[in-house]
Amino acid sequence: MEGHFESVERKAEAAHLGMWLFLASEVLLFGALFAVYSGCRVEFGADFVVASSHNSIAIGTTNTFVLVTSSLCAALAVHGARSGHLRRAAALLGVTVLFGLAFLVLKGVEYGEHFQSGIFPGSHYHYAELPTHGANAFFTLYYLMTALHGLHVTGGMLALGVVGHRAWRGGYSAERHLPLELSVLYWHLVDVIWLFLWPLLYLMH
């Protein structure tokens, strides 16, 4: 144990505090994007409603189901680790990573459909059916927020993969599995952020 921690419990408390501070910074980041979205929504209300109808509700809703289910698997993995069933926890984390991969694949399919129609961010936007500045603003924010979220999904998958591999090899115990818990906590944040993006980008119309 490092000398600057009085006990294992104090070390765990410090790690949890650090993770919560990190998650708070992530909330501030996406909160700023949500604020920009709200301002543009007020200015280009009608254009935002029409533009959102060109996003696939089926894909957006399926991805919501995928992430919520993945969070359930991740929570069960923590329960398994606390119970000493490390291989079960590792298997559940593997399932969580597969759900994350499915999310990214579906998002890639949606991106591909948009690209074929000429729906690109910023100055590259040339969708003939919606040539308005408001539609351009909507899809620019759509790409910015979903791509940033996708990076968080990828980071979460990597973290869960690492701790899952270690759990499978017996690197944790029922008493000591703090990295696994913190990785799952981060994954829950990824899920919660999507629960805000889903209605803003898919259900508004």
- The Cα–Cα gap between 74 and 187 comes to 8
> Rounded to the nearest 10 degrees, how much is the dihedral formed by the CA atoms of 149, 153, 156, 160?
170
Residue 11: the pLDDT is 73
Q: Is the dihedral of CA 8, 11, 15, 17 positive or negative?
A: positive
Looking at residue 54, the DSSP 8-state letter turns out to be: T
Residue 7: the pLDDT is 63
Residue 14: the pLDDT is 83
Residue 5: the pLDDT is 56
Angle between helices 8-43 and 45-52 (to 10 degrees): 110
Contact 78/181 with Cβ under 8 angstroms? yes
Per-residue pLDDT for 1 more than 60? no
Give the architecture-level CATH label for domain 30-203: Up-down Bundle (1.20)
pLDDT band, very low/low/confident/very high, at 6 (cuts 50, 70, 90): low
Integer CA distances (angstroms), 147 to 17, 133, 139, 141, in order: 28, 21, 12, 10
Tokens for 49? 């409603």
- The Cα–Cα gap between 181 and 166 comes to 13
C-alpha triplet 95, 153, 18: angle, nearest 5°: 105
Per-residue pLDDT for 199 more than 60? yes
pLDDT band, very low/low/confident/very high, at 63 (cuts 50, 70, 90): very high
Helix ranges (H only) for 83-177 are 86-117, 133-168
Average pLDDT, whole number, for the chain? 93
Looking at residue 121, the DSSP 8-state letter turns out to be: S
Average of per-residue pLDDT across 25-37: 96
Per-residue pLDDT for 29 more than 60? yes
Phi and psi based region of residue 84 (left: phi greater than 0; alpha: psi -120 to 50; beta: remaining)? left
pLDDT band, very low/low/confident/very high, at 80 (cuts 50, 70, 90): very high
